[in-house]
Amino acid sequence: SWVVAAPVAVVAGAGLWSSLWFGSTAAVVRALGAVAADEDRDPRPFTLAEGLCAGMGLTLPVIRVAEDPWPAALALGLRRGDATVVVTRGLLDLLDPVELEGVLAHELVHLKRADTAPVTAAVALLLPLASLVPAGGDLLHRLAGAGREFETDGLAVGVTRYPPGLSQALGTMVDAGRRLGPDGSPLVAGHAGRLTRWLWTAVLGDPPTGEALVGELDAPATRIAALDEW
């Protein structure tokens, strides 16, 4: 009867909401294979993020590293308490300090604007179905909003006051994509990588360089051209 079903539905809904609210970020981090960064081994992201956070009025997020050759970064989190920035080993190996600062500023702007909450929850919901929904990455891109990355670039270079840093970082990512190819990275080849492909600083996957994304505001080539004009 509805007298029994209604309370059960409320309890089930509350349980789903709770699991999403408290577990989404951890679920996505696990799927990406990212672990807590070691400040002794990788001091640069901590030093740069601390300086940026001080100027942006942010608490330093958890910094995690995915041992992956593809240079990329991603901000996650539903609330301030689980704000997380994931960087790949490729990003730390290939970017110089100025480029890395631009990328971190970009991801911290996402956290500042709290636009990571809906996409983090959506990724966690779609992860179990990622292998069955090959277009899930494009669906998430539409959910996040076209131009999300383009707009964030402008706010990020307003923080660093040096547009060439982020522009050069995007160029480095594009060049690495040409060398690695669409199947050259475990992260990109995996379901979690394909699902989140539009949420990283530069779009991941096939085509790796983003050159075929004609008319796409968030394509790396479009953003590089805009940054070079700012």
Residues classed as catalytic = 107
User: How far is residue 123's CA from residue 82's CA, in Å, rounded to a whole number?
Assistant: 15
Residue 81: Cβ within 10 Å count: 10
Question: Which residues, 6+ apart, have CB-to-CB distance to 205 below 8 Å?
Answer: 137, 182, 188, 193, 194, 197
User: How far is residue 56's CA from residue 205's CA, in Å, rounded to a whole number?
Assistant: 31
The helix/strand/coil state of 39 is: coil
User: How far is residue 178's CA from residue 66's CA, in Å, rounded to a whole number?
Assistant: 20
| Strand locations in the chain (E) | 34-36, 62-66, 73-76, 84-88
φ, ψ for residue 76 (rounded to 5)?
A: -135, 160
> What is the H or E stretch that residue 20 is in?
helix 2-32
The 10 Å CB-count burial string (b at 16+, else e) for 131-148 is eeeeebbeebbeebeeeb
